[in-house]
Structure 1
Amino acid sequence: MKKHIRMWAAAMLTVLTSCTAQQSSSKLISEISTPARPVLHFTPEKNWINDPNGMFFYQGEYHLFYQYNPYGEKWGHMSWGHAVSKDLISWEHLPVALEEEDKVMIFSGSAVVDYQNTSGFGTGNEPPIVAIYTAYDAKSGFQSQSIAYSNDKGRTFKKYNQNPVIDLKKADFRDPKVFWYQADKKWIMTVSLSQEKKVQFYSSKDLKKWDLMSEFGPAGVTAGIWECPDLFQLDYNNESVWVLGVNLGTHSIAGGSGLQYFLGDFDGKAFKVNPSLTKEPLNFIEYGKDFYAAVVWEGTPDQTKERKWLGWMNNWEYADKVPYYGWRGSMSVPRTLRLQKQDGYFYLKQEPVKEIDNYKKKSVEKNAIGIQDANALFSGFIKSDSLSFSTSFVISPSEIHDFLKFNIKGKGSSVINFTYDKAANELVLVRAKSSKNVDSKQYPTIQRVKLDKSDREFEVRIIVDKYSMEVFTHDGKYVFTNLFFAPSNDINVSFEASKKDQKLVFKSIGLYTYL
């Protein structure tokens, strides 16, 4: 979505025009690739991108809409870009789905398949696709909720002629996420009062007339703003838990943008936190700086057991300062989200979707390999001019004296590294200042996670894709997503250890590069 509309509104009013967004022709990412374009991560054909929107699965296709500026490399002229995929990795670009018109921008929202045609928008054999979005009127400064519909599987949309469907005459009322609640046979909308740090829940029988049922909040982190809420249910064995995700524009655990979540119960009208479900009073889905505005795909198979989602891979602290490659911004790798239970408490875990494995170019797996041999393997396997690879290795804390570090260097100095620190019993990720690439004091970062026990083996999976590094540990319980920027022809990847740990032998290690 926007965000921080107050900071940019004055500037935007001088540049908004009445022209509509240009429609880009359908094209596969592989046809427009450049040396800098990631392999496993979604990027737009060109220009600015931020929040994922309107994500649904229908007839074998994953639809991804996203906040998009069709005209430039910075935030503005917000519209919905559109792409589809059969496997969440290879994407087909489609024309702009919802365009800014008459100084009314299209902010974040959701889309649903109206199988029963409750809206009455359906005209043929296919159920209508209904998009629910925040309309920002630059003339009034108000944000309201509007809808649009499609009768061609989401390829084209028509805006409802009686929009808006909810209008509170507020400046910070946004990001509707809608799903079908089968128990009461009604639609549920979760939407944010961002400055009030509240989430409202509305219901509707037809997606047109909405009734307010309840509010949640303030709770958890209440500094900054609340955005892009999402409410969904997950099962673990025979237990069912409702998850309320709330994205934070600022003051996340790693600094800047991030996502907190609450676990509890939903009765069709109100969400209530259940303190007995979770060990920690505050729960963050990510410990990195660059995972934001994540919401789940609706309509995926077995979605009570697992959900698919992704987030915008950026941070509002420096989003308009990251390098421009003909496009600015990308999504995280798509992930599978599950509910897990440990010591009687629930938490969310996330792992890369298994479809990534279909894009492996070459791979090698070794057992009982020492650090020096592992580094030789990296040196001979990874070509810095095409830096798309992943590695998996097992850390046995009982076998480490001091520390083990996975390091990416540029021109001899560390760019980004991930360390298991035995003495502190911590996982630590450090991202150094990125020379001239990102001119922001908030870009350098140190991220830490304190572990429960030091004697438990755990696997580390790291995905590096051109200019990002995503770290998954403890079966997806801890995730660190971070951008990094360094000249690709100067990149060196290696393990480092203390003198006492130079003879450390990995139980196993895997190394994979991608097409």
Structure 2
Amino acid sequence: MKRILLLFLGSLCAVSVVTAQTATPQWRPSYHFTAPKNWLNDPNGPIFINGVYHLYYQHNPFENKWGHMSWGHATSTDLLRWKHLPVAIPEIETPDTTTWIFSGSIVADAKNTSGFGKDGKAPLVAIYTADQPKQKKETQALAYSNDGGTTFTQFKGNPVIDLGLKDFRDPNVFWHEPTGKWVMAVALPAAHKIQFYSSGDLKKWDLLSEFGPQGYTRHVWECPFIVPLPVDGNPGKIKWLMMVSSGGERHPAFMQYFVGDFDGKTFKSDTPDKTILTVDHGDTFYAAIPYRLPDRHTLIGWLMPGKGETFPWRGQMSIPRDLGLVTTADGIRLVQRPAQLVTAALERLPAEKKFISKSFTIGKEKLLSKTGKFEENCWWLEVEFDVSKAGRQGVRLAADPEKKTFIEAGYDPGKKQLYVDCRTAEKDRKEPQNLFQVADLKAKNGKIKLRVLFDRSSLEVFGNDGEAVISTLVYPQANARQLWLFSDAGSGATASLKLFDMTGI
């Protein structure tokens, strides 16, 4: 996306300056997706077909920094283990111009409405933003595949939507059964608007409506999507969830969401105009879009690397998250939980990779890692604390043996906040305002559930089954590998605990 060029060539990251050339395997994730080498950003075209999850992504095939935007490609059957495939849609070079393949989506054209299919098979159609940096122009374009998504052919009639604008991007397309049309959500970034278009053949598009400005408007809007979700699991009560990525003053990774109704033409938000609903309260989760599955929508996002330099790769994806809507005292709100497919795989891990206790004594603190077990900064922890007494509780991770540096993820019952504290460990790699990150969260019956996913450099913390999430990136020193539980609530503190060793996934 063009926004990445603006953000990362700015003061926050300065990717055009010297980039790391020393290998950093200690920070390479085990169960979060990375490209084999070189730069990665936005997920594109996530689609599930014939039992296989396809992930396409913004990729520079030549360098470990942003540029030469193309679509990388990988596949998986469990959203944990990935098979890397060749670049699916490369940048286009002609004597007159360069076209970079910016973000977009893929649909399975089951009825062959586009006419791109052959031999009676449904084609896959990619709808993406064609960015022409020399012309300072963005349009929407098509490419299609008849080999299951491995290679794509550019549509000779491109572009399919051209407004003559510098910033006009990120088409997200789905089939709307009630109207029998394809629907596209696409961003007018500077105007803080999402446009909706419809088409019968993916080639000719008609403008339906616009949404916005609303909510957070102090930075551009991009990477929109809209999906229907049952409220409280009730299929008779459907609301539509729309997400928009925006960046912001505190950090360049910020996403907001709206809840409302969509009739195939217009989205009407139930969210008050000035209310800002935050998807993730950390400083790294961005540009997320979902797999549209038969029984759920599973979100995957880019974990923006910020100042962290890694080599020979840079950038990673979040853990896939199942989306839901629940009724709260404040209205209908988003919940995000690690995907069911992923959590089911945890239970199948061998016994030596699991530690489970229904009543684990913490005291003031308890060391969980030891030689040969849970000491590789690559684990998944699920813990429930009794927070009816005063005092913070949580985990200290990436701690050095003297505990002079560590990262703390926990809950503060006095402030009713989930938090991630990186102040002792990440001063050189984070903006000062992002060293301590919080999300409001209320206890349930005096209890707080935490899911803490630490994968060598990525940290995702889910509070109370995904009512609040904080995601960030950290870069521990070589000897900082200890994992502790702690409690300020008294020496008799206990918790229920599940801990999984994720090395080798």
Pair in the same fold by TM > 0.5: yes
Distance 1:505 1:434 in 2: 27
Corresponding residue for residue 406 of structure 1? 395
- Kindly state the Cα deviation for residue 472 of structure 1 after the two structures are TM-superposed: 1.0
Q: 1:177 is aligned with what amino acid?
A: N
Q: Secondary structure at the match of 1:378?
A: coil
Q: Secondary structure at the match of 1:458?
A: strand
**Matched-pair contact (CA < 8 Å) for 2:385–2:494:** no
Q: Deviations over 1:380-403 (max 9, x none)?
A: 67443x3211111112221x3322
Q: Deviations over 1:442-481 (max 9, x none)?
A: 5742222233457532311111111111111111111111
**Matched-pair contact (CA < 8 Å) for 2:230–2:238:** yes
The verdict on how the C-alpha distance between 1:136 and 1:41 changes in structure 2, with shifts beyond 3 A counting, is: same
**1:271 is the counterpart of 2:230:** no
- Stretches of structure 2 lacking an aligned partner (at least 5 in a row): 11-15, 17-23
The verdict on how the C-alpha distance between 1:93 and 1:211 changes in structure 2, with shifts beyond 3 A counting, is: same
Equivalences for 1:379-390 in 2 at 5 Å? 379=370, 382-384=373-375, 386-390=376-380
Which residue, 212, 216, 225 being the options, matches 1:217?
Answer: 212
**Matched-pair contact (CA < 8 Å) for 2:70–2:100:** yes
Corresponding residue for residue 237 of structure 2? 239
Q: 1:503 is aligned with what amino acid?
A: G
Distance 1:8 1:473 in 2: 30
The verdict on how the C-alpha distance between 1:434 and 1:77 changes in structure 2, with shifts beyond 3 A counting, is: farther
**Matched-pair contact (CA < 8 Å) for 2:441–2:463:** no
Which residue, 103, 108, 113 being the options, matches 2:108?
Answer: 113
**1:512 is the counterpart of 2:505:** no
- Kindly state the Cα deviation for residue 185 of structure 1 after the two structures are TM-superposed: 0.6
Corresponding residue for residue 23 of structure 1? none
Distance 1:341 1:459 in 2: 19
Q: 1:37 is aligned with what amino acid?
A: R
Q: Deviations over 1:239-284 (max 9, x none)?
A: 0001111111224xx63312100011111111111249x9x92211
**Matched-pair contact (CA < 8 Å) for 2:451–2:461:** yes
The verdict on how the C-alpha distance between 1:68 and 1:180 changes in structure 2, with shifts beyond 3 A counting, is: same
Count, aligned residues? 478
Distance 1:34 1:381 in 2: 18
**Matched-pair contact (CA < 8 Å) for 1:43–1:330:** yes
**Matched-pair contact (CA < 8 Å) for 1:382–1:389:** no
Q: 1:446 is aligned with what amino acid?
A: F
The verdict on how the C-alpha distance between 1:453 and 1:37 changes in structure 2, with shifts beyond 3 A counting, is: closer
The verdict on how the C-alpha distance between 1:185 and 1:486 changes in structure 2, with shifts beyond 3 A counting, is: same
Q: Secondary structure at the match of 1:355?
A: helix
Q: Deviations over 1:356-395 (max 9, x none)?
A: 34253511111222115972433367443x3211111112
Point out the structure with the larger helix share. Answer: 1
Q: Secondary structure at the match of 2:370?
A: helix
- Kindly state the Cα deviation for residue 307 of structure 1 after the two structures are TM-superposed: 0.8
- Kindly state the Cα deviation for residue 433 of structure 1 after the two structures are TM-superposed: 6.6
Q: 2:345 is aligned with what amino acid?
A: N
The verdict on how the C-alpha distance between 1:257 and 1:344 changes in structure 2, with shifts beyond 3 A counting, is: closer
Distance 2:372 2:294 in 1: 37
Q: Secondary structure at the match of 1:475?
A: coil
**Matched-pair contact (CA < 8 Å) for 1:403–1:501:** no
**1:188 is the counterpart of 2:177:** no
Equivalences for 1:80-159 in 2 at 5 Å? 80-102=71-93, 103-159=98-154
Distance 2:354 2:7 in 1: 47
Q: Secondary structure at the match of 1:358?
A: helix
**Matched-pair contact (CA < 8 Å) for 1:112–1:179:** yes
**Matched-pair contact (CA < 8 Å) for 1:36–1:325:** no
- Kindly state the Cα deviation for residue 432 of structure 1 after the two structures are TM-superposed: 2.7
Over the aligned positions, Cα root-mean-square deviation in angstroms equals: 2.6
Corresponding residue for residue 290 of structure 2? 296
**Matched-pair contact (CA < 8 Å) for 2:172–2:185:** yes
Which residue, 319, 322, 343 being the options, matches 2:308?
Answer: 322
**1:345 is the counterpart of 2:334:** no
Q: Percent identity?
A: 38
Which residue, 221, 230, 248 being the options, matches 2:246?
Answer: 248
- Kindly state the Cα deviation for residue 3 of structure 1 after the two structures are TM-superposed: 1.7
Which residue, 321, 332, 347 being the options, matches 2:318?
Answer: 332
Q: Secondary structure at the match of 2:369?
A: helix
Q: 2:43 is aligned with what amino acid?
A: P
Corresponding residue for residue 20 of structure 2? none
Distance 1:3 1:348 in 2: 26
Q: Secondary structure at the match of 2:479?
A: helix
Corresponding residue for residue 50 of structure 1? 41
Corresponding residue for residue 13 of structure 2? none
- Kindly state the Cα deviation for residue 86 of structure 1 after the two structures are TM-superposed: 1.0
Q: 1:176 is aligned with what amino acid?
A: P
TM-score (norm 2): 0.89
Q: 1:249 is aligned with what amino acid?
A: G
**1:473 is the counterpart of 2:463:** yes
Corresponding residue for residue 29 of structure 1? none
